[in-house]
């Protein structure tokens, strides 16, 4: 039997193809490969930079789907369908809206693949693939499974190893798709498995793609203690409440943490209340001054993430958010328009208030473009919000801002390595800002909604 794994791209630019130059290893496909019995041949194609050879013989195609790659995933599935090849889909979007996905393929796995993958492969061998497999969320994700990384070789990925210690987050921010997937729970892998996985690969730079690696302080401390002897460098995502626990922070730094993606979301306390981001309530009341001081003290290079277009946002507050990010010399920042992902509380609210645009299914609509507002904001038009968010990305990533932000002795200039990281990744992200803006979803302009 032969299995073909596929990571879809978002789509294309209006006038040319889009190649993701900052692409990272598709971790989920490495896990699916590892779960697959050794007698099954496995190949992987990454649509972000290579052509999919639709005519290459295969017995099953497995596609990972996020909401922003759904339209492209359905196109790929249709191509295989024309050739009579069976397609299975799984991933975040499948959990959020399984009935829609099921219309575009032969089978779906709802939830983590681990509990049902072996059964599915067995069914496929017998020619008896079921329409739907429902996975019960395992208390310990990925137990005993070491990601197969040989499938990533020679694909030009950034030289950083992706891995997970935990999945999910116990907070319940109204816009977060992951809280829906994990029902606001946080699941940790056994620390020994993570250590074994780090040892099984060669790199010393790890990106823990956890939703919130510091969600459970005790478990995080256990992990960090075990990382210290490995002498790695790592980055991940965490929430501001980690700063309230000095022992956690000491271990985090000692274990090699270079920096974190932190969801600041908004500088306005009203907006933080609106999205129910409890970890940010006290910080937002004083413009995060004590949190930023601490992040510097611990020497972390922060990737600050903001969401724009809250009901309490105005054009002035959005511009002030960008000023705040530049003034505080964050190493990187993301200015994302608030996105109503299907089945999230944010989506339900926008739908109820009649504010959804693009026939309520922006991810399938032929006129929707990457980084456009998909709803009508309260204090501005959708187009104005789209333009303001683009303006923030342009300003934060401008050459002048890159020059200004580097002068932070405790973070960006702390060591030659930190300075190097700053210099290499800022131009890369700057390029992506322009390449991705306004990208069409999928490659074909086709139907209004698929
Ligand atoms: C790492 C990460 C990134 C990395 C990309 C890494 C990469 N490899 O390319 C970076 C930082 C670049 C990134 C960017 C973005 N991301 Co991101 N990202 C993540 C994060 C934190 C982890 C993803 C991951 O690797 N998980 C580990 C794997 C093992 O888990 P998994 O994918 O869930 O896979 C399991 C199951 O779902 C299932 N499964 C998965 N695929 C398949 C396929 C089949 C066939 C089967 C059977 C099963 C199956 O089995 C797997 C094993 O258990 C997720 C959060 C999350 N919890 O998923 C957000 C997340 C996926 N990102 C999100 C978003 C919005 C984005 C951006 C659009 C942000 C932006 N505005 O720019 C961009 C777009 C990226 C792009 N394509 O250009 C959203 C997506 C929401 C949605 N509804 O789709 C998420 C869920 C964050 C969130 N909390 O909302 N991201």
What share of the chain in percent tops pLDDT 90?
96
Nearest atom within ligand 1 for CA of residue 178: 89
Closest CA to 201 of 250, 238, 234: 234
pLDDT of residue 17: 83
Q: With bands split at pLDDT 50, 70 and 90, how would you rate the model's confidence at 449? A: low
Contact 10, 439 (CB under 8 A): yes
In a 10 Å sphere around its CB, with 0-12 CB exposed, 13-18 middle and 19+ buried, how is residue 199 labelled?
exposed
- Other C-beta atoms within 10 Å of 225: how many? 13
Closest CA to 439 of 333, 366, 381, 375: 366
Ligand 1 contacts CB of residue 209 (under 6 A): yes
Contacts of 85 (CB under 8 A, 6+ apart): 58, 59, 60, 61
pLDDT of residue 450: 61
Contact 212, 279 (CB under 8 A): no
Tell me: the pLDDT tens digits for 331-363?
999 999 999 999 999 999 999 999 999 999 999
What is the domain partition of the chain in residue ranges? 2-134, 159-414
Tell me: the pLDDT tens digits for 399-432?
999 999 999 999 999 999 999 999 999 999 999 9
| CA diameter of the chain | 62
Nearest atom within ligand 1 for CA of residue 92: 37
Tell me: the pLDDT tens digits for 139-196?
999 999 999 999 999 999 999 999 999 999 999 999 999 999 999 999 999 999 999 9
Ligand 1: centre distance to CA 425 (Å): 20
- Whether 448 has a pLDDT exceeding 70, the answer reads no
pLDDT of residue 21: 83
| 228 to 44, 254, 286, 298, 419: CA distances (angstroms) | 34, 6, 34, 16, 23
Structure tokens at 387: 């333009």
Residue nearest to atom 80 of ligand 1 (CA): 66
Q: Average pLDDT, whole number, for the chain? A: 96
Q: With bands split at pLDDT 50, 70 and 90, how would you rate the model's confidence at 86? A: very high
Ligand 1: centre distance to CA 209 (Å): 9
Contact 177, 92 (CB under 8 A): yes
- Whether 269 has a pLDDT exceeding 80, the answer reads yes
pLDDT of residue 15: 81
Q: What is the DSSP string of 113-147?
A: STTTHHHHHHHHHTT---SEEEPPPPSSTTTT---
Q: With bands split at pLDDT 50, 70 and 90, how would you rate the model's confidence at 321? A: very high
Contacts of 146 (CB under 8 A, 6+ apart): 34, 193, 196, 197, 200
Mutational pocket test of ligand 1: of 209, 338, 344, 428, the residue with most ligand atoms within 8 Å of the beta carbon: 209
- Whether 8 has a pLDDT exceeding 80, the answer reads yes
Topology (CATH level 3) of domain 159-414: TIM Barrel (3.20.20)
Ligand 1 contacts CB of residue 291 (under 6 A): no
Ligand 1 contacts CB of residue 158 (under 6 A): no
Nearest atom within ligand 1 for CA of residue 5: 45
Q: What is the mean pLDDT of residues 374-399?
A: 98
Ligand 1: centre distance to CA 92 (Å): 7
Give 2-134's CATH code, choosing from 3.30.200.20, 3.40.50.280, 1.10.8.60, 3.40.50.740: 3.40.50.280
Ligand 1: centre distance to CA 413 (Å): 31
- What is the C-alpha to C-alpha distance for residues 393 and 396, in angstroms, rounded to an integer? 5
Closest CA to 370 of 68, 76, 61, 7: 68
- Whether 445 has a pLDDT exceeding 80, the answer reads no
- Whether 51 has a pLDDT exceeding 90, the answer reads yes
First to last CA, the chain: 31
pLDDT of residue 146: 96
Nearest atom within ligand 1 for CA of residue 142: 53
- Other C-beta atoms within 10 Å of 403: how many? 10
Greater model confidence, 37 or 445? 37
Ligand 1 contacts CB of residue 186 (under 6 A): no
pLDDT of residue 18: 83
Tell me: the pLDDT tens digits for 202-243?
999 999 999 999 999 999 999 999 999 999 999 999 999 999
Residue nearest to atom 79 of ligand 1 (CA): 177
């Amino acid at each position: 039997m032969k299995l073909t794994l596929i990571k879809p791209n978002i789509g294309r630019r209006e006038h040319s193809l889009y190649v993701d130059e900052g692409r990272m290893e598709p971790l989920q496909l490495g896990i699916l490969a590892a779960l697959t019995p050794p007698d099954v041949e496995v190949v992987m194609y990454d649509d972000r930079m290579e052509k999919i050879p639709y005519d290459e013989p295969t017995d099953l195609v497995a596609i990972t789907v996020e909401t922003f790659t759904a339209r492209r995933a359905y196109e790929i599935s249709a191509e295989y369908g024309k050739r009579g090849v069976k397609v299975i889909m799984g991933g975040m979007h499948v959990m959020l809206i399984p009935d829609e996905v099921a219309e575009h393929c032969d089978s779906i796995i709802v939830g983590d693949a681990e509990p049902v993958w072996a059964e599915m492969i067995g069914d496929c061998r017998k020619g008896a693939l079921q329409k739907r497999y429902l996975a019960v969320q395992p208390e310990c994700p990925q137990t005993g499974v070491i990601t197969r990384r040989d499938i990533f070789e020679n694909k030009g990925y950034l030289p950083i190893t992706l891995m997970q210690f935990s999945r999910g987050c116990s907070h319940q921010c109204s816009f977060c798709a992951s809280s829906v997937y994990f029902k606001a729970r946080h699941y940790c892998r056994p620390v020994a498995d993570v250590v074994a996985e780090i040892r099984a690969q060669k790199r010393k730079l790890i990106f823990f793609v956890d939703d919130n690696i510091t969600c459970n302080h005790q478990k995080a401390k256990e992990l960090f203690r075990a990382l210290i002897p490995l002498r790695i460098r790592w980055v991940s995502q965490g929430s501001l409440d980690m700063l309230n626990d000095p022992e956690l922070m000491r271990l985090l730094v000692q274990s090699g943490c270079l920096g974190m993606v932190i969801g600041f979301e908004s500088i306005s306390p009203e907006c933080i209340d609106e999205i129910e981001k409890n970890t940010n309530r006290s910080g937002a009341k004083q413009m995060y001054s004590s949190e930023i001081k601490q992040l510097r003290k611990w020497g972390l290079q922060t990737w600050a993430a903001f969401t724009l277009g809250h009901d309490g946002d105005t054009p002035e507050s959005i511009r002030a958010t960008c000023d705040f990010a530049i003034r505080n010399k964050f190493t990187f920042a993301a200015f994302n328009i608030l996105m109503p992902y299907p089945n999230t509380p944010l989506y339900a609210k926008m739908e109820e208030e009649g504010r959804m645009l693009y026939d309520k299914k922006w991810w399938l609509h032929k006129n929707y473009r990457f980084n456009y507002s998909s709803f009508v904001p309260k204090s501005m038009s959708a187009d104005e919000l789209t333009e303001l968010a683009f303006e923030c990305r342009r300003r934060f990533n401008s050459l002048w801002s890159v020059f200004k932000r580097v002068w932070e002795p405790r973070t960006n200039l702390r060591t030659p390595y930190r300075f190097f990281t700053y210099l290499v990744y800022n131009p890369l992200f700057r390029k992506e800002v322009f390449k991705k803006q306004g990208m069409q979803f999928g490659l074909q302009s086709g139907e209004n909604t698929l």
